[in-house]
Amino acid sequence: MKDTVSENNPRKAWMGLLAKAPEGRVATLLDAEISRPAFTWLRAPEIGSTMVRARAGATGAPFNLGEMTITRCALTLETGEVGHSYIPGRRKADAEVAALVDALMQTAMASRLRETVLEPLEAGMATMKAARAAKAAATKVDFFTMTRGED
């Protein structure tokens, strides 16, 4: 299956990272680095649901898998940058901070935020993924067949 996060679209990469972040982690990292700038809501955080679609075997015809709850919002900074967020679950505070980081990543603070917010998030998620893979690998059973000696 093709990797959907590419180097050619960095915004897609950081939006995915913010959406997958553990609850409260983005806010902790952002607040440790800067004081939050003033902004205006374009769309205040609201909770809704969306249809999740899937493909059988990742290549078959798409089908409706089911609905999931999401929180979305949009804001604009005083300097004009617009930030959006779609977060799984019912997490208004996380949606707000994700939209704020999205907007700030479009400013001159982008490299600073990449080092202090996005890279620690990515490292933490890689650690969690490795731990989950190690736990799954510990339960792996290898089957092998021995010849009977009749042949």
Give the integer Cα–Cα distance in Å for 45 and 122: 25
> Along the 151 residues of the chain, how does pLDDT read in single tens digits?
344 545 678 899 999 999 999 999 999 999 999 999 999 999 999 999 999 999 988 788 899 999 999 999 999 999 999 999 999 999 999 999 999 999 999 999 999 999 999 999 999 999 999 999 988 888 887 777 666 666 5
Element (H, E) at 44: strand 39-55
How confident is the model at residue 32, as a pLDDT? Answer: 93
Distances in Å between the Cα of 69 and the Cα atoms of 51, 62, 65 are 9, 20, 13
How confident is the model at residue 148, as a pLDDT? Answer: 66
Give the integer Cα–Cα distance in Å for 10 and 23: 22
Q: pTM higher than 0.85, yes or no?
A: no
**pLDDT digit string (tens) for 13-50?**
999 999 999 999 999 999 999 999 999 999 999 999 99
Sign of CA dihedral 106, 121, 116, 38: positive
Cα angle, residue 3 at apex, residues 68 and 97 outer, rounded to 5°: 50
Element (H, E) at 141: none
HSE on the CB side for 122, CA within 13 Å? 12
**Partners of 84 in the β-ladder:** 74
